[in-house]
Amino acid sequence: MLNKEPKIEYFSKKTTNWTNVNGTIIDTAKVHNQNNNANYVISLRSKDNNNNFEYIDISTEQDGGEFFLNDERFINQKRVKIDSFSLAYRYYKSDIRKFTISSTDDFGKQKNINFQITFIDNIKPTAKFEIRKESDEGIIQHTIDAEFSIDGDQKYGGYITNYEFNIDGVIINSSLPYLKHVFSIGNHQISLRVQDNDHQWSEQYSKSILIK
């Protein structure tokens, strides 16, 4: 049987199953910091039609980043004799980072794939809420629903961790995006800030409500 180069397949947050890789994979990730613990994470496996798998090389010519292969840390390059593993790459500022993964069989046939990852700085969240009037066992109450708030970089792994409701100067912090409240008659001022997983706060969003 004619020997062919190995195949490399990968699985990431953007794929739903193992995907055969050719050429360059272009993707995005969040810049790592002590608050978000962000990494670019993929799972990889190499397949050789003739069962002649020998080793995989992981390498980059750029300094400043860190790789974690099955939780083992290395910097620029590593050779492994395992055909499947999880790989994370971490970088600490916005930049385009490149690395190469090569699978080689014991006859020297090689398959190379390149990764080009754009690391994105944090984008602050946006606060927004709606107010709904409800009745619970005859008691009129209102739900302040902040599920309309979004983190600016949620597609890169960002999310909201804290909702700071302010009702007439009284601050209520919650991990939940809604708050139920019974208002007295009169005009009331409601505001909201939200905090993301990088500990950054949104601008304040405010509304008033008149209870008659």
pTM surpassing 0.85?
Answer: no
Q: What is the largest CA-CA distance in the chain?
A: 85
Given a cut of 70, whether residue 1 has pLDDT beyond it is no
In this chain, the answer to whether the domains covering 7-120 and 130-211 adopt an identical fold is: yes
Q: What count of other Cβ atoms lies within 10 Å of the Cβ of residue 112?
A: 15
State pLDDT tens for residues 18-48.
888 888 999 999 999 888 888 999 999 988 8
Q: What is the DSSP string of the chain?
A: ----PPEEEEEETT-SS-EE--SEEEEEEEPP-TTT---EEEEEEEE-TTS-EEEEEEE-S--S-EEEETTEEESSEEEE--SEEEEEEE-SSSEEEEEEEEEEETTS-EEEEEEEEEEE-----B---EEEEEEETTEEEEEEE-TT-B-TTGGGT--EEEEEEEETTEEEEESSSEEEE-PPSEEEEEEEEEEETTSPBPPPEEEEEEE-
Q: What is the pLDDT of residues 149-170, one digit of tens each?
A: 999 999 888 899 999 999 999 9
Q: Please identify, in words, the CATH class of the domain defined by 7-120.
A: mainly beta
- For the chain, what's the residue count? 212
The predicted-structure confidence for 89-131, as pLDDT tens digits, reads as follows 999 999 999 999 999 988 888 999 999 999 999 999 999 999 9
**CATH topology assigned to domain 130-211:** Immunoglobulin-like (2.60.40)
How far CA 51 is from CA of 43, 47, 79, 166, in Å, comes to 20, 8, 19, 64
Domain ranges, ordered by start, for the chain? 7-120, 130-211
pLDDT digits (tens, 9 = 90+) for 203-212: 999 999 999 8
Q: Taking the CA atoms of the chain, what radius of gyration do you get in angstroms?
A: 25
Least confident stretch, 10-24, 48-62, 136-150, 157-171: 10-24
